[in-house]
Amino acid sequence: MIALTASALFTPLQKIEQPVVLLEDGKILEIDPRAALAIPSGCRIVDFGDAILAPTYLDIHIHGGAGHDVMETDPGALPALERLLAQHGVGGYLPTTITAPVEQTLGALERLADAIESGDATPGEGGRARPLGIHMEGPFLSHAKRGVHPPESILPPTIGMFNRFWEAARGRIRLMTIAPETEGAQEVIAEAARRGVCVSIGHSDANQEAARAAIDKGARHATHTFNAMRALDHREPGILAVVLSDDRISADIIADGIHVDPAIVKLFIRAKGAAGAVLITDALSATGMPDGRYRLGTLELDVKGGRCTSRGILAGSVLTLDRAVRNVMQFAGCDLQQGVRFASLNPAKAAGLEKNGVLEPAAHADIVVLDRNGGVRKTIIAGAL
């Protein structure tokens, strides 16, 4: 048994001063203030001093990092990415596909399902973040708002094609981004939601009616708000007005100061509130790497000064989730506890991963050790110190 002590702990809904966290077999046994919990004799005590303990972060939209893309065939790709993620406080993630030829996508889904099942069998192995499900970003997107997704591989949504992806992924699709205005989208949204997928509206030129219809059918999230969406207009507000005002859905944002201006990040946090705002990275293979040329699926990317482009179009980021937390503290005046919630509990709830993103008895001992400014001192995954 291990006892962790620190200055404070975020559950993240509550703050506990001078906590003691008892761990055993990769799980949390008990959390209490030091004055209320006697540490069992023979217990190994690890004191983190003036640090803050919090749930590890969960990135539900990430394409790669450490020079690797999640769709590539190199068996070393995901382990390299997972080690990088752990260095930045991330304990779990949804490897995110990009629109690609069908056979390539099916092969990637099979490999990612293998990785998820392997991670389930050996949680926390080697100080690596764990893949907890798949996010399919494409191919059911709008041509008008496709961003860098290759137009020749964008497909109209059909139940038949969704079934092919679902079977290749062995039911491991946790989240799917879809443009609700495309023909056939509403039927696919309803079926995916019925199977427990978090349907996320995005890469979309939808009007209000199509966006609301998607939510009525079961969509419950929105992908990288403002980016690859019809612009907000005061007379024809479109999808953005629904995303920002409908409390039935959560929404995520890339808070790197490049994809969205800091003032808009502040407005987004105010609109979605403490329970509805989610931080993502949309990170690419170049994350954690020097400027240069990299790949995203079949695309070539140029990275310079933190900006990722493909043929001059903004394409993902090199943001890390710990930096996103610190950015919302700066951009929106959030405190660290709020920032932690946006990167842990909220994405876990959005993706239907209720056992993640929270510190409580019986939960996985996935804990990030932070300084007062949100800097990562250590990441503990499945209790591995």
List active site positions: 282
Alpha helices in 122-229 (DSSP H): 159-168, 185-194, 208-217
d(CA 297, CA 107): 12
Helices (H), strands (E): how many in the chain?
Answer: 10, 24
Contact criterion met (CB below 8 Å) for 260 and 254? yes
d(CA 272, CA 244): 6
Q: Please report where in the chains the tokens 């039911």 appear, as a residue.
A: 171
For residue 33, cis peptide bond before it (omega within 30 degrees of 0): no
What does each C-alpha distance from 295 to 67, 75, 159, 286, 292 come to in angstroms?
9, 17, 30, 8, 10
Both structure tokens of 25: 């077999």
Contact criterion met (CB below 8 Å) for 132 and 174? yes
Number of Cβ within a 10 Å radius of residue 33 = 12
Under DSSP, the state recorded for 142 is -
Contact criterion met (CB below 8 Å) for 58 and 324? no
